Amino acid sequence: MNTQDFVKNAIKTESRNFDEIGGRMSEVRNQRLLHAGIGLATEAGEFLDALKKHVFYGKELDTVNLSEEMGDIFWYCALIADELGVDFSKVMDTNIAKLKARYGEKFTEEKAENRDLTTERTILEK
């Protein structure tokens, strides 16, 4: 396939209802959540870049920088928590409860592949 055919076929599946997309983007909630989502992705990229420089380029592992990026990620998580009106400690408790339902006390590949999504959803909705 040449690049022109690829582009032609790829854009067939693009969501192009820009009036509705624009309407959703005009909602402050979505603006804040998108800001947080983009921020999480970029900060994760910065974290990975620091790790890449250590693993692949042989630079000293900059744990101060990794910790900084972790803080930046928390900053965006705080934005999400505020917008969703959720408490960090409850989110952490729920996460652990979900993982206990999934794995019990120990990770296994079998349990990772055979999740009970109904039970997990019930835990997440409490």
Question: How does DSSP assign 4-49, residue by residue?
Answer: HHHHHHHGGGS---HHHHHHHHTSHHHHHHHHHHHHHHHHHHHHHH
- What residues between 47 and 106 interact with Mg ion by CB under 5 A? 69, 72
Judged by beta carbon, residue 75 or residue 88, the one nearer Mg ion is 75
Nearer to Mg ion among residue 35 and residue 98 (C-beta): 35
Rounded to the nearest 10 degrees, the angle between the axes of helix 88-103 and helix 117-125 is 160
Q: Residue with CB nearest Mg ion?
A: 72
Question: Minimal distance in Å, beta carbon 113 to Mg ion?
Answer: 34
Q: Which of 40, 46, 51, 99 binds Mg ion (CB under 5 A)?
A: 46
- Closest alpha carbon to 73 in 50, 53, 105: 50
Contacts to Mg ion by CB under 5 A:
43, 46, 69, 72
